[in-house]
Chains A and B, each alone.
Chain A
Amino acid sequence: MSGGRGTVGHPQPAARPAFAWRHAVLRLVVLLVALGAWQWGARARGSVYFPPPSRIALRAQELWFSGPARHAFLSAAGIGDVLPSLGRMAAGFGIAAVGGIAAGVLVGRSAWAYALCNPVLQFARAVPPPALVPVFVVVFAFGAPMQIASIAFSAVWPVLINTAEGVRATDPLRLDVAAVLRLNPFERLRFLLLPSALPHIFAGLRLSLSLSLILMVFSELLPGTANGIGFTLTDAQSRSDLLTVWAALLLLGVLGHLLNTALLAVERRMTGRRRPT
């Protein structure tokens, strides 16, 4: 909304049900066709390196989701590999999100801090995150602290930079309003800066989330790891168990998709009560 004078604002109309319905069906059809083609191609080829998706899914199910109902159907490997991976990822992403938003607000609030920090931030962002993992291996030794630090240190930059940009983009008139209303720094943060930067913050969080997943796997590929999805991947590869490798890839894809969907749902909940601008 540019100025938005004398106009009546309407909330975004929801997509018409019939239309949304057709879209959902179309998406499902595309997915099924792709899966069918994969299945058909893999079976026709009959290569041990490219098993058909049906066998991959079965292997994933028996590996991780064949447990009893009281363990939410997680098998021993599910509990021993998938949960630790997710736990480390959650810890790393959580540290990155909290630290990135806090630092981003500080950097974004001061033109001086922004000018000083921007080159450093651009540099830190430009370094491919996996390249830093060897450094963390030396600093933290092997194991969970190193893995969490790798994830957090890689995922913090997108949140930090986007939060700083979002806070900087706060409407100057609204800053005047906050000054005239004599909001204290905490109120200004809570009622103006954070809500106004929220779309930027979530854009950063989405990037950070996918980086977290990448770093989670990557940090588990290194020697000294005892469990995790990445460990399963290297372990199966060393045993030439390609079916398990594919199953781990499938699991990672599904996890990535689910996490992203969950984050989008949170974003929609938090920003849904404002007009999209």
Chain B
Amino acid sequence: MTLRLDALGQRYGDHPVLHDITLTVPDGQLLCVVGPSGCGKSTLLRTVAGLQPAREGTITLDDAPVTGVPDHLAVVFQDYGRSLFPWLTVRDNVALPLRRRGLARAARRAEADRILERVGLDGTARRHPWQLSGGMQQRVAIARALVCRPSLLLMDEPFGSLDAQTREDLEDLLLEVHRTDATTIVFVTHDIDESVYVGDRVVVLSPGPASRVVLDLPVELPGKRDQIGTRRLPEFVALRSEVGRVVRGA
């Protein structure tokens, strides 16, 4: 699914947040959006998700304007503790989006179990989210996002509150999902290394107010990415320095 932002602007009252953002994310691309905190990254995602209307400009998905929450869209939020429903089991959380597809209960459960296995959570279906570690809870949230096979996946600093090891595991899970499903993904992060490691392309927003795009960089890294090897490549080091320089406003 191709996502197109055209002169997108967003404001809270008189306070401008985003200004003149024009971007095209081609079908199947994993775009990372980086920027200092408070630059409006989350606002950008919320606007694309249709959770708040754009104040200026337009958003189109495969040439259809976004007015409400689009179909075939999934969002993973940073705060898994709040985004999951604690009164539902892991399986029921994951199966929740399937209700609107009109599947029978047994089919919903089977589908949920299948996707749980895919994100490495087999055996947790009947537990409750708060009985799992933070990394596992975020896996549940990812499973809930993937269960409807979205064509556009939005992720708002999804690994920002996880420890380093867990974060690397989940970055690799995301890359694996992206390789197999070829979903268009917009991934917001403040972590420069992470953006270069997972992204096909990195876009840097300027510090607010009225953030705009200050760098748009394709990420071309040789070979399949892996946590140890890729991060040592000269291409990786060069890219992360460039992104880092722009983020720091040099």
Contacts and interface: CB of A to CB of B under 8 A. Distances in A.
B179 interface: no
Contacts of A192: 85
A180 B69 contact: yes
Nearest to B68: A179
A179 B69 contact: yes
A3 B83 contact: no
Contacts of A269: none
B51 A274 contact: no
Interface in A70-98: none
A195 B84 CA distance: 13
Contact of A180 (B51, B79, B134): B51
Contacts of A179: 50-51, 69
Nearest to A192: B85
B186 to A, nearest CB: 14
Interface stretch (B29-37, B92-100, B195-203): B92-100
User: How big is the A interface, by class?
Assistant: 20 to 34
Given A180-B73, A182-B100, A191 B81 contact: no
B130 A1 contact: yes
Given A6-B162, A7-B134, A173-B77, A181 B82 contact: no
Given A176-B51, A275-B86, A8 B77 contact: no
Interface string A165-184: 00000010110110111111
Interface string A204-226: 00000000000000000000000
Interface size of B as a range: 20 to 34
A180 B74 contact: yes
Contacts of A5: 79, 81, 134, 161-162
B131 A181 contact: no
Of A6, A171, A275, chain B has the most CB atoms within 10 Å of the CB of A6
26 contacts: A1-B81, A3-B161, A6-B133, A9-B129, A11-B131, A171-B82, A173-B77, A173-B79, A174-B82, A176-B51, A176-B77, A177-B83, A180-B49, A180-B69, A180-B73, A180-B74, A180-B75, A181-B96, A181-B144, A184-B100, A195-B85, A195-B87, A274-B128, A274-B130, A275-B128, A277-B86
A9 B49 contact: no
Interface of B: 46, 49-51, 69, 71, 73-75, 77, 79, 81-83, 85-88, 96-97, 99-100, 128-134, 144, 161-163
A9 B87 contact: no
A62 interface: no
Contacts of A183: 96, 99-100
Given A182-B69, A275-B86, A4 B81 contact: yes
Contacts of B81: 1, 3-5
Given A176-B51, A180-B49, A195-B87, A6 B82 contact: no
Contact of A3 (B46, B79, B85, B130): B79
B200 to A, nearest CB: 24
A191 B85 contact: yes
Contacts of B144: 181
A167 to B, nearest CB: 15
Contacts of A241: none
Interface in A255-277: 273-275, 277
Contact of B132 (A9, A181, A191, A198): A9
A93 B199 CA distance: 59
Nearest to B74: A180
A221 to B, nearest CB: 42
A191 B83 contact: no
A179 B73 CA distance: 11
